[in-house]
Every structure is written in C-alpha cells, then in structure tokens.
Amino acid sequence: MSAKSIVNWFTALYRQLGFDGCSSHSGRRTFITQSARLLTKAGGSLRDIQELAGHRALTTTERYIEGDREAQRKLIQML
C-alpha cells in the first residue's frame, strides 16, 4: 500500500464510523501518546515508541506526544 492509499483508507473508515475531524495522522498521534503513557508498565523506553512509529529521530516522536495536565498535577503532588 502507498502512503496515500493508507490515508484514504483511514479517511473512509473514520467517515463510516461517524468520526468527524479524524485522520490517519490523528490516529497516529493517539497511538504514540497512549503508548508513551503506558510505557513504564511495559518496561520500555521512548526509543521503543520511536521505533514503532518509524521515526529516525526521537525529537520527531516527542512532537507527537501530548501532555496530560492531570498527570502532571499528580506527579507534583507525589513529590
């Protein structure tokens, strides 16, 4: 499959499911963010997520990971 055909496949799938504003890219962002949040449970590192995402540079992977204010508050409270 080409990159364009995958994008089209996701677009059609999300449309069938009634998801507005979703794309192959938003699904990728969700996967990477959720993986980062579960990382400690799996005993992995950000390098593992980088490899799963197929990124050459870790800085690219980092741009996909969305912060979680509630988790940040909990972390500060634990300190």
pLDDT in tens, 12-21: 888 899 988 8
Nearest to 59 by CA among 68, 69, 72, 47: 47
With bands split at pLDDT 50, 70 and 90, how would you rate the model's confidence at 54? very high
In a domain, 3, yes or no: no
Count of domains forming the chain: 1
The reply to whether 8 falls in a domain is no
Classify residue 56: in a domain, yes or no: yes
The DSSP symbol for 79 reads -
Using the predicted structure, report yes or no on whether residue 3 has a pLDDT greater than 80: no
User: What spatial distance separates the first Cα and last Cα of the chain, rounded to whole Å?
Assistant: 48
Q: Whole-angstrom Cα distance, residue 72 to residue 53?
A: 24
Residue 63 lies in a domain: yes
Note if the pTM is more than 0.85: no
Task: Evaluate whether residue 32 is within a structural domain.
Answer: yes
In this predicted structure, what is the pLDDT of residue 5? Answer: 87
Is residue 14 in a domain?
A: no
Range of the domain at 31: 24-78
